[in-house]
Amino acid sequence: MSDTNTTAAISFLKLASSGKVEEAYSRFVGNGFCHHNPFFEGSAESLQAGMEENARQNPNKVFTILRTVSEGDFVVTHSRVQQNPDHRGAVVVHIFRFENGRIVELWDVGQPIPETSPNQNGMI
């Protein structure tokens, strides 16, 4: 099941980041979905509306999944998101919880990529 959930998480993120938010939700989000993004009310509808607005504002967004980890009903993705190709972007971690092959809970945390850093390993 973890491979199927990983594929679903990746597909959801690719669709949503490319502006196909409604399709992402209809194909992958389950009943009773909730999320933990502090900038939106906790319902599926509020996060979906925020994602749709972001897609309208950033039609050239670049979203790159760098790695995934899955365990049981959980999938974690580590990604880079750039609002446009010239934007330095941010690193984002999404944590998905699945039930019956559908996303029912989502956490996301992000950190902007600084112009300079003393860390020689970088963020990605």
Residue ranges of domains in the chain = 2-112
Tell me if the pTM is above 0.75: yes
Question: Contact at 8 Å (CB) between 123 and 111?
Answer: yes
How high is the pLDDT of residue 1?
56
Q: How far apart are CA 81 and CA 91, in angstroms?
A: 6
CA distance 65 to 63: 7
Encode pLDDT of 6-52 as tens digits: 999 999 999 999 999 999 999 999 999 999 999 999 999 999 999 99
Write the CATH number of the domain with boundaries 2-112. Answer: 3.10.450.50
pLDDT per position as a tens digit, 83-96: 999 999 999 999 99
pLDDT digit string (tens) for 46-97?
A: 999 999 999 999 999 999 999 999 999 999 999 999 999 999 999 999 999 9
* Beta-carbon count within 10 A of 61 CB: 19
Longest dimension (CA), the chain: 45
Percentages of the chain per state (helix, strand, coil), in multiples of 5: 30, 40, 30
Are residues 37 and 48 in contact, defined by beta-carbon separation less than 8 angstroms? Answer: no
